[in-house]
Amino acid sequence: MKKMKKFFPLIFFAGISLIFCSCDKLPEALLRVGIKTYSAEESGRIVMSSQNGTQIQLVSGSAAVYVDKVPLILPEALQLQDIQQWDNYLPFVENIFAPLLNPEQKKIRTIVLDPGHGGKDNGAKSVTNALEKDLNLSLAKVLQKELLSLGYQVIMTRDKDVFVSLDRRAAIANALEADLFISIHHNSSATNPQASGMETFVIRPETDAEYLRCRKSVLPALLIQKEQAGINGSFGRGVKFARFKVLRLAKCPALLIENAFLSNREDAVKS
């Protein structure tokens, strides 16, 4: 995937106490996903790298994880005062970290693009008076053109200003047995006009089926955030987990992108 639109060696200083762990002492959860190096500071900061070169940084007690500098906000904070506590988070490791460190090889062929809102549902209104439903559709058409040029089969849940229910949007992807569902939105904040940047959501899993979809959704979400960094110079607000209805109903890997904040003038002008 090329791009969507505009919007879309570690140094440790003296005095910091480090704990390095050799591979033969790593807990089973980390060995399973191919962690090669592991270091932890007394402050709780942890840095580890995999055999494929991916680097993960986090702080014990925080939900924020940085995968090759891209923020990944976990559904809950990881409490890792001791390295063996990783085994307590085996579902996270297997369904979130594993697909990033050891990507599955299934090829994506059919992508459903879902421009959010439409018809009677305007979505948010930008500070420049643009309607989210129109911006979503415009961005989806740009992305559709680029994906078609790359050889993907692309289906839109709407290609004009009409209302489509959330159930119908997911049903389209399910009927086509799509390889990837991408719902396109723009963000807004009534309380923080300074909020800015793009974020990508995947399902916050609760069932076995959702864990499987989450596993297959995290890598595409991370790659989209990385791609935006190459365009904007910023990794944005990162990958997050949520239970939006379309993410729950889609049976294939699914993403919901909040492309920019329409309540932020700079974001709105670029959208």
3-state secondary structure of 161: coil
CA distance 47 to 104: 24
Give the contacts of 214 (CB within 8 A, at least 6 positions apart): 95, 96, 202, 203, 204, 205, 241
The residues, ordered by sequence, that sit 6+ positions from 231 with a Cβ below 8 Å of its Cβ are: 3, 6, 8
What is the reported pLDDT for 228?
Answer: 77
At residue 234, the pLDDT reads 63
Residue 51 backbone phi and psi in degrees, to 5: -65, -25
DSSP assignment of 96-155 equals: IIHHHHS---PPP-EEEEEE--BTTB---B-TTS-BHHHHHHHHHHHHHHHHHHTT-EEE
Stated pTM of the model: 0.88
**Among 166, 159, 242, 228, CA closest to 197:** 228
Give the span between the Cα atoms of 175 and 95, in whole angstroms: 25
Residue 19's Cβ-side half-sphere holds a number of Cα atoms within 13 Å equal to: 12
- Angstrom CA distances, 27 to 21, 42, 65, 142, 147, stand at 10, 19, 19, 45, 41
Token duo for residue 204: 């916050």
Alpha-carbon distance of 41 to 21, in angstroms, equals: 12
Q: How does pLDDT run along the chain (271 residues), one tens digit per residue?
A: 444 444 442 233 333 334 455 555 788 888 888 888 899 888 899 999 988 889 999 999 999 999 998 999 999 999 998 888 999 998 888 888 888 888 877 789 999 999 999 999 999 999 999 999 999 999 999 999 999 999 999 999 999 999 999 999 999 999 999 999 999 999 999 999 999 999 999 999 999 999 999 999 999 999 998 887 666 666 689 999 999 999 999 999 999 999 999 999 988 888 7
Q: Is 236 left (phi over 0), alpha (psi -120 to 50) or beta?
A: left
Token pair listed for 99: 């697909």
